[in-house]
């Protein structure tokens, strides 16, 4: 397995989460109110799996290695992807900040929630599409076998640091719970 295959596989679970968030967005568009607990679970998944685990490996491990390569011209692309990671963190913070008011029935909070949720889903879908179809293919071309093996080692280390298979299980369970809450 190559290091990039791991990132692509993680996109699968993140996409699944985004699909369920899309259902919550649709409900909000119809003036329905998904319960607060749904958003709390979603924030947990988005922040810990998508961001602190997946985006961290991209930014701090993979981008770091690519930036050191002289023959590599991916700097602009990495700046754009990093910016998108930051915007996604911002949307999640905004969603978290209005949850108390949203749970109290505040109509402006519901609007803020919808705004940030819609932006989060849209940007992250586009981001993943760009990584899968463009950036990772460019990165694969410039990474040597040895560099790929080093990345793989770092990724394994990060997995262990986050809790190994229990971490994956926990996050698959979060997505399962999100889905169950949006099933009705
Ligand atoms: Fe990314
Ligand atoms: Fe990614």
d(CA 153, CA 164): 14
151 CA from centroid of ligand 2 (Å): 15
Flag whether pLDDT at 55 surpasses 80. Answer: yes
The radius of gyration of the chain from alpha carbons, rounded to an integer in Å, stands at: 18
Q: How far apart are CA 38 and CA 91, in angstroms?
A: 16
Plot region of 31 (φ>0 → left; ψ -120 to 50 → alpha; else → beta): left
Q: How many Å lie between the centroid of ligand 1 and the Cα of residue 91?
A: 15
Q: Ligand 1 center to residue 40 CA distance, Å? A: 22
We find that the CATH architecture of domain 3-181 is Up-down Bundle (1.20)
User: Under a CB-based contact definition with an 8 Å cutoff, are residues 158 and 61 in contact?
Assistant: yes
Question: Which ligand lies nearest to the CA atom of residue 14 in the structure?
Answer: 2
pLDDT at residue 181, rounded to an integer? 97
pLDDT in tens, 4-34: 999 999 999 999 999 999 999 999 999 999 9
Concatenating the DSSP letter of every residue in 5-65 gives HHHHHHHHHHHHHHHHHHHHHHHHHTT----HHHHHHHHHIIIIIIIIIIIHIIIIIIIHH
Question: According to the model, what pLDDT value does residue 155 have?
Answer: 97
CB-neighbour burial class of residue 170 (10 A; exposed 0-12, middle 13-18, buried 19+): middle
d(CA 8, CA 138): 14
pLDDT given at position 92: 98
- Ligand 2 ion: nearby residues, β-carbon < 5 Å: 131
As a whole number, the mean pLDDT across the chain is 96
The confidence score (pLDDT) of residue 184 equals: 66
For the segment 84-100, the average pLDDT, to the nearest whole number, is 98
Res. 72: pLDDT tops 80:
no
Give me the residue spans of the domains in the chain.
3-181
| pLDDT digit string, tens, across residues 103-131 | 999 999 999 999 999 999 999 999 999 99
pLDDT score, position 71: 73
> Which-ligand-closest: CA of 83?
1
Residue 27 CA from chain centroid, whole number = 22
């Amino acid at each position: 397995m190559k290091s990039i295959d791991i990132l692509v596989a993680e996109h699968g679970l993140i996409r699944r989460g985004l699909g369920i968030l899309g259902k919550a967005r649709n409900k909000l568009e119809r003036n329905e109110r998904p319960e607060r607990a749904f958003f709390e679970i979603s924030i947990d998944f988005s922040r810990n799996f998508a961001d602190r685990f997946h985006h961290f490996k991209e930014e701090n491990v993979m981008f770091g290695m690519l930036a050191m390569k002289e023959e590599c011209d991916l700097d602009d692309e990495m700046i754009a992807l990093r910016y998108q990671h930051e915007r996604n963190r911002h949307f999640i913070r905004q969603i978290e900040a209005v949850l108390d008011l949203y749970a109290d029935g505040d109509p402006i909070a519901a609007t803020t929630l919808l705004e940030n949720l819609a932006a989060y889903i849209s940007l992250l879908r586009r981001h993943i599409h760009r990584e899968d179809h463009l950036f990772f293919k460019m990165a694969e071309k410039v990474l040597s076998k040895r560099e790929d093996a080093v990345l793989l080692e770092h990724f394994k280390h990060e997995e262990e640091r986050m809790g190994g298979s229990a971490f994956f299980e926990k996050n698959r369970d979060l997505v399962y719970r999100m889905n169950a809450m949006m099933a009705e």
